[in-house]
Amino acid sequence: MNLLYGTTNPGKLASMNRALAPLGLTLTGLAELDVPLPPVEETGTTLLENAEQKARAYYAAFGRPVFSCDSGLYFDELSDAEQPGPYVRRVGGRSLTDAEAQEYYAALARRHGGRLTGRFRNAIFLMADGETCFSSMDESLASPPFWLVETPHPRHVEGFPLDAMSVDPATGRYHYDMGVALADQPCIYEGFRAFFRGILPQLKGKV
């Protein structure tokens, strides 16, 4: 079964494909369609609202089952007003490149003694047809806590700038040195697999 994944980020597409392959699901990313994409404002006040806006826009444009995700980053050391939340890469009214994002968060970590304790939270919204939709912002979709440090790891995966700055609190080692990127944590994979496993019977016949 193939689904349209509402992202142009090649890293996110590859990561989600790895997560869902055991369920027999394959994904097509927006960039692979090679057509103009509808603009999506992402004006929601929650991660789930943003994921829904994207999924509905892409379903309206392409008329095929599509799901979108939205992620937010939250740090223990920051006040509510300071949290990146859903605007992980949008700072000062513009979207940061990978290099700019690393510079921005390195400076943020530096102001807090060289590291911050963070966690990514995720939301998912799937449009199966014009009436049937599924969504979740369950805790199982969130990453485990990690340290975000000011010095990036030499390895860099396009689309995941902060993975290179993530350290496992239990060992003090970069996730990349442990052989598993933050985005590929088994618990995150299982959270997304559980979501799709629960809705697959209802998707059959619609895809």
Instruction: State the catalytic residues.
Output: 70
User: Exposed, middle or buried by CB within 10 Å (0-12, 13-18, 19+), for 65?
Assistant: buried
Torsion of CA 71, 76, 82, 86, to 10 degrees: 10
- Contact at 8 Å (CB) between 142 and 122? yes
If one counts every other C-beta atom within 10 angstroms of the C-beta of residue 87, the result is 12
- Contact at 8 Å (CB) between 147 and 169? yes
Structural element, H or E, at residue 26: strand 26-29
Quote the longest CA-to-CA distance of the chain. 54
Rounded CA-CA distance 48/194 in Å is 17
